[in-house]
Structure 1
Amino acid sequence: MRSPGRATAAPDAIPDVIPDVISDGAAAARRRESLLTVMRKVCQPGGALTDGSDGTVTLVLHDVGVKTDEFEDPTQEINSAACVLNGIGVPTKVAARIGHTSASAGRQHAAWGNFTVSWTAHPHDGLNLVITEN
């Protein structure tokens, strides 16, 4: 069932992920692991995850939607990024802004709950996201 106010990936993008997210989320809470860390493990996007000295966790995704050495099929990386965003509860309006950003818009920013995201989009470089959990 789709929650109101949340974006969704393609129906076949993450069907087997939800039980893992629930299970991993409960385990993460016991370990005090960040939701962003859990979603990276579950969704397996490329990119780098870093823990800040201030307690923040940041995931940087580059070239989403562009064929790379790591992802031969650009759809796989798009679905992985959508899985992460869905898992951290990106609001529908933010997901829509991300999906409709053009190169001329420059760097965009949004925040909700414990998360901030900034992104750029370019036809040749794809989508670049910086997601931070406070």
Structure 2
Amino acid sequence: MIAVVMFSGGLFIGMAISDSDSSEPPAASEESSSSPAESETTASPKPALPPAEPNPMEAAIDSCASDSDRITLADDGNTIVAEGIGIDGETDESIEQLVCVLVYLGAPDSLFAHLDSTRAIDGRQEDEFGEYTAAWTFHPDDGVNMTITTN
């Protein structure tokens, strides 16, 4: 018998493959000199659990804005806070980093269109996507201030 253990998408998948055509379990050998206590100590170890999935928000920050002082992780990894993005219409690295974070988290094109069309007079805006909510304000003097939270 060959045992196969696979990890797929964080799930444990196990199967056994047998050489024999018989559906009966193999018979125990009477000539075996091992006692039950010995066979317990020689049993195969249980497979290790797959590593925990990384926090997507933490992974987004690590991938897109690890060196940013304007985009930070908060609330034990359940919130991303972006402050002063694109102040005074400047195009800077923080805009690219925020876009990268949003793309990493799976934000749809509709969120980008909503964000792009936000005016100072519109006040606080909010969109939900997947398991996240993005809320933001915009003012030419302050740039975009956005909070992304886990629902």
TM range, normalised to the smaller chain?
A: 0.5 to 0.7
Indicate which of 23, 35, 60 corresponds to 1:39: 60
Within 2, Cα distance between the matches of 1:132 and 1:117? 7
Task: Choose between structure 1 and 2: higher strand proportion.
Answer: 2
Report the structure number with the largest CA radius of gyration. 2
Unaligned runs of 5+ in 1: 1-25, 68-72
Task: Choose between structure 1 and 2: higher helix proportion.
Answer: 1
Which position in structure 1 is the counterpart of 2:79?
58
SS of 2:74's partner is strand
TM-score by length of 1: 0.66
* Higher relative contact order structure (alpha carbons within 8 Å, sequence separation ≥ 6): 1
Amino acid of the structure 2 residue aligned with 1:43: C
Unaligned runs of 5+ in 2: 1-9, 11-49
Which position in structure 1 is the counterpart of 2:17?
none
Q: Does 1:121 align with 2:138?
A: yes
- Per-residue Cα deviation, 1:74-114 (whole angstroms, up to 9, x for no partner): 42000000000111111111111011100000000110211
What pairs with 1:1-134 in structure 2 (closer than 5 Å)? 30-44=51-65, 45=68, 46-52=70-76, 57-66=78-87, 74-134=91-151
- Per-residue Cα deviation, 1:25-72 (whole angstroms, up to 9, x for no partner): x9xx933322111010110143331235xxx710110000128xxxxx
Within 1, Cα distance between the matches of 2:105 and 2:148? 10
Q: How many residues align?
A: 99
TM-score by length of 2: 0.59
Identity %: 30
SS of 1:31's partner is coil
The two structures, once aligned, show a CA RMSD in angstroms of: 2.2
